[in-house]
């Protein structure tokens, strides 16, 4: 699997009111990688995701999945949204099975795979609950299971933990990382939280705002055998500080230029 | 109900309060009527209203008239529900259809339906058709516009999630949009049913051989105010029953939304 963005630009609006939101975005995601894109809010992160998911089209440049241009959404790119996107009238199990039912998969198979992915996200006990009966963290785990159950080649995570409390966030970071390392999936994570990105992703792109552009890319080769140790390790902290300075510089630049 | 519940808490239940309000009015009414301060012709006592009502009930006339009115409402309103659903969904999902029809419906909505009665009588005479049509046109636009609004407010994430899972077109309509709007559609039907029930009485006041409205206008001719009161109460009770059945339907079919 290879996902590649080449010279992707996106502007909204037409004529003199057109606003350039993404300027020349270039990056790739290969099989088994965990890549993160970090930027402040409004830098165009969700827009990048929507372009890759095929929910919107780039103004110029190309987005290729295994060499084939992305034309509209498809189950090869699973997406987990920033805001809760579960179907409120469906139970946990029905939500997870939704993509498979859309594909017309046979009932017993849907059931079997649903059970499997509920176990993967540790929610088998909540199979019959409605979304409103689940906590925020559980809901996002259901959303992840739903995306995974459709068997995507790459999982697109758009600030999946953005709406969660700090405590739950940390355990969900652990969960997401374990999920990735256990299942060998390919993931692209978008977040405004630098620590979150560095904890999980081997490659981190820093996105500057106005227009959104990649200003720095780091290969974060860290020992991730224990994330809570990693969080406080000197190596991690200095890398985080280095990138935080870069991000601070960007927002400084924004303040002085406006 | 818990045993330990105090009598005050028990009295505080909504339906107990509601019932007390109704009973209170009857008591005051009886008191005024018995005091002789108001002429019997203007304000018959609750007792004489009750006896007038039960007399009509025993003779079978009440049932026949009620069935005539209910039949007209069911015919016209069923047609209205049937047409407004696809129309509202089309207006809520398709921009062209929306821009074509919304100003038109917005205009017609403000034309009072009873004002169409003379036209309908000229076109279709005095039979059942003009009454059924009056109820149809008098509720169609409200139902359509409310359904359109409910479609418009389907969260974009819910539709986009389905698209990233491989859904498109009709399956999204039937599996995402329809279940999401179902509770709002049922509620719109419930609210506008009140208008349908009002309109049938208005139509019967103008021209009919039977029906609750017809009976009121006959009672007026013979100055039988006790009968008018009795019929008004029956009209209110039937309306309340219809309202309640829509509420039960909503509770039963859309448990997730309440
Ligand atoms: N559909 C749209 N039309 C116009 N402007 C948009 C649209 N979507 C996003 N934008 C603008 O693009 C910029 C980036 O938005 P977004 O990608 O949501 O940022 P992020 O996810 O990083 O917070 C914002 O300034 C936003 O106002
Ligand atoms: Mg965003």
Ligand 1 site, CB within 6 A: A 12, 21, 39, 41-47
**CA neighbours closer than 13 Å in the CB half-sphere of residue B145:** 17
**What is the C-alpha separation between A128 and A116, in angstroms, rounded?**
15
Q: B257, A88: Cβ pair inside 8 Å?
A: yes
Question: Which carries the bigger pLDDT value, residue B57 or residue A258?
Answer: B57
**What averages of pLDDT result for each successive group of 10 residues across chain B (258 residues)?**
63 82 91 86 90 92 94 96 97 94 91 92 92 95 96 94 92 96 97 94 89 92 92 94 95 90
ipTM of the complex: 0.91
Q: Which residues of A touch B167 (CB under 8 A)?
A: 99, 102
Does A129 fall in a domain?
A: no
Contact B183, B250 (CB under 8 A): yes
Q: Mark out chain B residues that contact chain A at CB-CB < 8 A.
A: 155, 157-158, 160-167, 171, 175-176, 179-180, 182, 254, 256-257
For range A67-76, the mean pLDDT: 94
Q: Which residues have a beta carbon within 5 Å of ligand 2, which is an ion?
A: A 46
Q: Is residue B88 within 8 Å of B145, Cβ to Cβ? A: yes
DSSP B256: G
Instruction: Read off the CATH number of the domain in which A238 is found.
Output: 3.40.50.300
- Which residues, 6 or more positions from B197, have their beta carbon under 8 angstroms from its beta carbon? B73, B235, B238, B239, B242
- Nearest-angstrom CA–CA distance, B247 and B218: 34
Domain covering B46-257 in this structure, CATH number: 1.10.3720.10
| B74-90 core/surface letters (b: 16 or more CB in 10 A; e: else) | ebbbebbbeebbebbbb
Q: Is position A134 within any domain? A: no
A143 located within any domain: no
A44 C-alpha to ligand 1 centroid (Å):
6
Tokens of B89: 């969904």
- The pair phi, psi for residue B150, each rounded to 5°, is -65, -35
Eight-state DSSP code of residue A132: G
pLDDT number for residue B242: 94
Task: Give the C-alpha separation, A196 to B28, whole Å.
Answer: 70
Would residue A43 count as lying in a domain? yes
**Residues on chain A touching B252 (C-beta within 8 angstroms):** none
**What residues does each domain of chain B span?**
46-257
Q: What is the pLDDT of residues A189-200, one digit of tens each?
A: 999 999 999 999
Among B163, B166, B180, whose Cβ lies nearest the Cβ of A55? B163
- Give bridge partners of residue A63 from the DSSP assignment: A5
Q: How many domains does chain A have?
A: 1
Name the pLDDT band for A255 (thresholds 50, 70, 90): low
For A175-230, write each residue's pLDDT tens digit: 999 999 998 899 999 999 999 999 999 999 999 998 999 999 999 989 999 999 99
CA distance A181 to chain B (A): 23
Q: What integer pLDDT is reported at residue A251 of this predicted model?
A: 73
* Chain B residues in contact with A133 (beta carbon < 8 A): none
Determine the atom of ligand 1 nearest the C-alpha atom of A45.
22
In this structure, is residue A130 part of a structural domain?
no
Q: Quick check: is A59 in a domain?
A: yes
> By the 8 A CB rule, do A220 and A202 touch?
yes
Per cent of chain A over pLDDT 70 is 98
pTM value? 0.88
Mark yes or no for CB contact A146/B155 under 8 Å: no
Cβ atoms of A243 and A204 within 8 Å: the answer is: yes
Position A110 in a domain: no
Q: Domain range spanning residue A60?
A: 2-76+152-257
Distance in Å, CA A189 to ligand 2 centroid: 11
From the list B160, B176, B182, which residue is nearest A55 (CB)?
A: B160
Return the residue whose CA atom lies nearest to atom 8 of ligand 1.
A47
pLDDT (0 to 100) of residue B1: 46
Q: Give Cα separations from B238 to B69, B212, B235 (angstroms).
A: 10, 11, 5
Residues of A with CB under 8 A from a CB of B: 53-55, 72-75, 77-79, 81, 83-85, 87-89, 98-99, 101-103, 130, 132, 143, 146-147, 150
Distance A42 CA to ligand 2 centre (A): 7
Counted across chains A and B, CB pairs separated by less than 8 A come out at 69
- Cβ contacts of residue A214 below 8 Å, gap of 6+? A25, A26, A27, A37, A205, A206, A207, A208
What CA–CA distance (Å, rounded) separates A122 from A115?
10
Which residue owns the Cα nearest ligand 1 atom 24?
A42
Are the C-beta atoms of residues B93 and B178 closer than 8 Å to each other?
no
Residue A127 lies in a domain: no
Q: What is the pLDDT of residue A30?
A: 97
């Amino acid at each position: 699997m290879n996902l590649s963005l080449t010279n992707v630009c996106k502007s909204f609006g037409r004529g003199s009111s057109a606003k350039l939101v993404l300027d020349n975005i270039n990056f790739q995601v290969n099989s088994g990688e965990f890549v993160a894109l970090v930027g402040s809010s409004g830098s165009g992160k969700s827009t990048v995701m929507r372009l890759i998911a095929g929910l919107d089209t780039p103004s110029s440049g190309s987005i290729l999945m295994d060499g084939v241009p992305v034309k509209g959404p498809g189950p090869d790119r699973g997406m987990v949204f920033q805001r809760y996107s579960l179907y409120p009238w469906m139970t946990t199990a029905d939500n997870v099975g939704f993509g498979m039912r859309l594909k017309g998969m046979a009932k017993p198979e849907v059931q079997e795979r649903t059970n499997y992915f509920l176990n993967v996200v540790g929610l088998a006990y909540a199979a019959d609950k409605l979304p409103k009966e689940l906590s925020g963290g559980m809901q996002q785990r259901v959303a992840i299971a739903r995306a995974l159950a459709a068997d995507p080649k790459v999982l697109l995570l758009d600030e999946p933990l953005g709406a969660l409390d700090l405590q739950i966030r940390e355990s969900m970071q652990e969960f997401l990382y374990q999920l990735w390392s256990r299942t060998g999936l390919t993931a692209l994570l978008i977040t405004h939280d630098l620590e979150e990105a560095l904890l999980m992703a081997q490659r981190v792109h820093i996105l500057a705002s106005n227009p959104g552009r990649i200003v720095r890319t780091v290969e974060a080769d860290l020992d991730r055998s224990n994330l809570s140790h990693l969080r406080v390790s000197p190596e991690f902290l200095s890398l985080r500080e280095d990138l935080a300075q870069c991000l601070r510089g960007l927002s400084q630049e924004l303040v002085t230029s406006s | 109900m818990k045993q330990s519940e105090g009598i005050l808490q028990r009295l505080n239940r909504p339906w107990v309060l509601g019932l007390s309000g109704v009973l209170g009015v009857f008591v005051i009414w009886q008191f005024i009527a018995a005091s002789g301060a108001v002429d019997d012709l203007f304000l018959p006592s609750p007792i004489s209203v009750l006896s007038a009502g039960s007399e009509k009930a025993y003779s079978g006339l009440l049932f026949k008239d009620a069935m005539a009115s209910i039949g007209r409402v069911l015919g016209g309103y069923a047609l209205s529900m049937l047409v407004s659903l696809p129309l509202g969904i089309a207006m809520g999902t398709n921009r062209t259809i929306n821009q074509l029809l919304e100003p038109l419906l917005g205009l017609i909505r403000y034309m009072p339906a009873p004002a169409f009665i003379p036209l309908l009588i000229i076109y279709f005479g005095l039979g059942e058709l003009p009454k059924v049509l009056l109820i149809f046109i008098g509720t169609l636009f409200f139902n359509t516009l409310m359904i359109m609004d409910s479609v418009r407010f389907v969260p974009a994430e819910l539709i986009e999630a389905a698209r990233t899972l491989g859904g498109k077109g009709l399956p999204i309509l039937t599996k995402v949009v329809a279940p999401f709007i179902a509770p709002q559609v049922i509620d719109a039907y419930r609210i506008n049913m009140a208008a349908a029930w009002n309109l049938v009485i208005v139509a019967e006041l103008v021209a009919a051989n039977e029906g609750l409205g017809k009976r009121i206008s006959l009672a007026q001719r013979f100055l039988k105010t006790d009968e008018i009161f009795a019929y008004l109460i029956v009209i209110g009770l039937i309306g309340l029953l219809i309202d309640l059945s829509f509420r039960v339907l909503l509770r039963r079919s859309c448990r997730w939304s309440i």
